[in-house]
Structure 1
Amino acid sequence: MAKWDVIVIGLGGAGSAAAYHLAARGCRVLGLDQHHRVHTHGSSHGKTRIIRQAYFEHPSYVPLLRRGYELWSELEQAVDEDLFQRTGLVELGPKEGVVIPGVLRSAAEHGLAIEELSVAEVAHRWPGLAAREVHSQAQWQAVIEKDAGYLRVEACVEAHLRLAEQAAATLQHERPVRHWRATPYGVKVTTDDGVEHAERLVIAGGPWSGQLLAGLGIRLSVLRKYQYWYAPQQTGYDQRDGFPCFFHETPAGNFYGFPSIGQDGLKVARHSGGTPVETPTSPHPTDGADQSLIEDYLKAFLPGVGKHLQAQSGCYYTMTPDEHFIVDVHPDHPQIAIVAGLSGHGFKFTSVLGEIACQLALDGETTLDTSLLRIERLRQV
């Protein structure tokens, strides 16, 4: 008889949530992670992540986000901690671009409340978002989503881990998984210090998913990305001043950021680009070219921030060919659920992805529509 009902590989955003939901259903859960608890080596760190519902990437994500919002609220109540800060989100770009039409489409299909503004109106409301170089271009537009904001990344992961342990899950950090194998009775997972057996398996390996899913014939690429924190040189950028999160589609690529929070400063990053890596490693080397692009963006769109860099951090995007997630059961082994390839926009979903992974592992299906995220689409690419 297997010692565990379910083993979860990876205890970052999605894996920690999966461990919690599985334990809450009474499973004997073993969670394994190669690094220390709430670490900075993967993709679930950096203090903040934007959360939004009017999803330009595809309208099919909106029902997942609605459930995710419910689960984030439940998590906050369970741990008695503020995890989701609703600052609002300003998205700005060409009317005929990708972001603005996508936001409007998702909002229209799902009845989401948004506000449409001209670029000049945005600059009047938030002078720090001047975007001077596009003021005269009538083809640019802004959309405001008031029920958006940011999640406190590390606190969210820790909350899920804590609740999983309270529900009797066993979580073992700094225990790398070397390989896994399906067996007639479930799965066999081999680590550096022994073998574990379980009836079911959840793979949530973040940037290490490619190695864990090597036999599937799915192409996952890993990009090194950077996040920067600047001390604004002018006032008006603080969260206490009502400054929002922001996401801009510009000729130089897509950029996003957050209001200045406490002593941390204003966080900004480039959603576009990234450096391909074969094997995720840390610490991350500095990237002067990336920082230069960030500071050019700040000069054009947030001119009062300046160049006083306080801190920077690296992380990883694990990309699928179409930039949609993989959330499915293994096509050859139905006792294995997979959450992978979140493609740089997945953390906001991790509350619901954990619930879905739990349902897939235990029930073989989920109550939510995940047809966009099935593995088979990528095995045909």
Structure 2
Amino acid sequence: METYDCIVIGVGGIGSACLYHLARRGHRVLGLEQFDVPTDRGSSHGESRVIRQAYFEHPDYVPLLKQAYAGWSALEDVSGRSLYQPTGILVAGPADGEAVAGCRLAASQHQLSIENLSTAQAMGRFPGLVIPQNLDVVFERDAGFLFVEDCVRAHADAALAAGAELRTRERVRSWQSNGGTVRLLTDRGRYEASRVIITAGPWSAHLLSELNLPLSVLRKVMTWHADRSGAMRVENGAPVWFIELPEGCFYGVPGVGGESVKVGEHTRGEAVTDPFTVDRGLRASDLLPIRSMLKQLLPGVSPEPSRLAVCMYTNSPDGHFIVDRYPGNDSVVLAAGFSGHGFKFAPVIGEALADLADAGRTDLPIGFLGLSRLLQKAE
């Protein structure tokens, strides 16, 4: 049986960052991933992930975001790769809706710079977008998108360079904790470690079954569309955008170098009972809301997709992450329920997980993400 200081189960966006932070601290650490690194089977793929600071989900995320921005910059230096594309983000929605009001609240509480624009000003600045007149608009300059697969690859490569081991296409079947050690059974062998960190995305409920976490997994479709006008390209000044409409919340990422525009719906999604068998094809029902949205908001973009990808959201009941130690077991640390908005936090959450594994605590402001809030509600 091979023995390690720490084992990370699941080497996607969060797991690869955790693996890196543990390795750079000198631990003998192993990453176990049931697919490849990166992979298109989980939640950290699809070319891009939006990153922003005026966080409408909750102002408490902002201090973590500032750390995350610094972490991505540091990873660019370590890897020699360009991982972040600044574009700014335009957020539009009802004045009393979640998105715009949340942005303004986060900006006010944390002294962030945002612009309030009229719809005419917004469309004059970004002519590829048609924004309904009844919506409020804010623009945050310090935002953009991350090249998601490159980010995962950079964290994993940096972890390996720091001495980590990584084994792919090896599935963890079960784990057991006995005192100060944890034993793992995979489809290839057995391992033992002083600490185990579970960052398994849509497979978290299975590996944490004894906790009976109230997690729900949703199938989410991302599509790419030709930009016939050229107005929605990075080189022409197009931003990332997020628009809250009565029929749902939609987002888009501009194309780079003539590449297609990526769009998706943040709300809704089909429940996934088994992450291994999620439907990765394109259905007619997937396209109905996307076509309607594109015709309304982006008339210069083709409503027909040139390609697609399917990922999964693993949602917690309140939409906030779960980052904590396993109840009653200091040898196991977990991160789950990133609810479709967690990737941008990978460097800082990875560091927090390494702290929890190392010392059982962290100075990073993750208290509001503790597991106790959900267990108390379940009781």
TM-score bracket, normalised by the shorter chain, equals: over 0.9
Match of 1:268 in 2: 263
Q: Which deviates further from its counterpart, 285-294 or 159-168? A: 285-294
Residue in 1 aligned with 2:123? Answer: 123
Structure 1 residue 264: deviation in Å?
3.1
C-alpha contact 1:3 1:198 (8 A) present in aligned 2: yes
Unpaired stretches in structure 2, ≥5 consecutive residues = none
RMSD (Å), alpha carbons: 1.2
1:318 maps to what in 2? 314
1:251 alignment partner, one of 236, 240, 246: 246
* Residues in 2 aligned to 1:291 and 1:263: alpha-carbon distance in whole angstroms: 23
Q: Distance in 2 between matches of 1:250 and 1:18?
A: 36
1:168-207 pair list within 5 angstroms: 168-207=163-202
Q: Within the alignment, does 1:66 sit opposite 2:66 as a pair?
A: yes
Deviations 1:66-92 (A, max 9, x none): 000010000001111110111100000
Aligned to 2:86: 86
Matches within 5 A, 1:1-381: 3-131=3-131, 134-135=132-133, 137=134, 140-281=135-276, 284-381=280-377
CA distance in structure 1 between the aligned counterparts of 2:180 and 2:98, rounded to whole angstroms = 47
Secondary structure in structure 2 of the residue aligned to 1:187: strand
CA displacement 1:350-375 (0-9 Å, x = unmatched): 11111111001111111111121100
Could you tell me how far 1:380 is from its partner in structure 2?
2.2
Q: Which amino acid aligns with 2:219?
A: R
Task: Give the conservation status (yes or no) of the 8 Å contact 1:217–1:379.
Answer: no
**By how many angstroms is 1:260 displaced?**
1.6
Distance of 2:321 and 2:199 partners within structure 1: 12
Deviations 1:199-253 (A, max 9, x none): 0010000110010111112111100000000001223111100100000000111
CA distance in 1, matches of 2:336, 2:258: 34
- Aligned length, in residue pairs: 376
User: Following the alignment from structure 1 to structure 2, what is the Cα–Cα distance between the partners of residues 234 and 67?
Assistant: 37
Structure 1 contact 232–308 (Cα < 8 Å) conserved: no
CA drift at 1:263: 4.5
Q: Distance in 2 between matches of 1:288 and 1:261?
A: 28
Query: Partners of 1:350 and 1:322 in 2: how far apart?
Result: 20
Deviations 1:25-83 (A, max 9, x none): 00000100100221100000000000001100001000000000010000001111110
The alignment's TM-score, normalised by the length of structure 2, stands at 0.97
Kept after mapping to 1: 8 A contact 2:87/2:238: yes
Gaps of 5+ in 1: none
- TM-superposed deviation, 1:2: 7.3
Percent pairwise identity: 44
TM-score, length-scaled by structure 1 = 0.97
Letter of the 2:54 partner, please give it.
A
Moved more, 366-375 or 46-55: 366-375
Q: Bigger CA drift: 280-289 or 262-271?
A: 280-289
Q: Deviations over 1:91-131 (max 9, x none)?
A: 00010111111000000000111111011211111111112
**Which amino acid is the alignment partner of residue 210 of structure 1?**
A
For 2:234 and 2:365, how far apart are their aligned partners in 1? 35
Cα shift at 1:265 = 0.2
- 2:312 is paired with a residue of what secondary structure? strand
**3-state DSSP of counterpart to 2:173:** strand
Deviation at residue 283 of structure 1 after TM alignment: 5.7
Moved more, 286-295 or 317-326: 286-295
Distance in 1, Cα, partners of 2:330 & 2:155: 25
Measured in 2, the distance between the counterparts of 1:283 and 1:45 equals 16
| Cα displacement (A) at 1:308 | 3.6
Deviation at 1:262, TM superposition (A): 2.8
AA aligned to 2:51 is I
Partner AA of 1:367 in structure 2: D
The range that moved more, 282-291 or 308-317, is 282-291
- Provide the secondary structure at the position in 2 that maps to 1:121: helix
Q: Give the 3-state SS of the residue equivalent to 1:103 in structure 2.
A: helix
Structure 2: distance between partners of 1:283 and 1:158: 25
Whichever residue aligns with residue 43 of structure 1, its letter is: S
Asked if the contact 1:229/1:310 (under 8 Å) is kept, the reply is yes
User: In the alignment, residue 93 of structure 1 is paired with which amino acid?
Assistant: G
Kept in 1, the 8 Å contact 2:34–2:171? The answer is yes
Matched position secondary structure for 1:3: strand
Q: Which amino acid in 2 is paired with 1:248? A: I
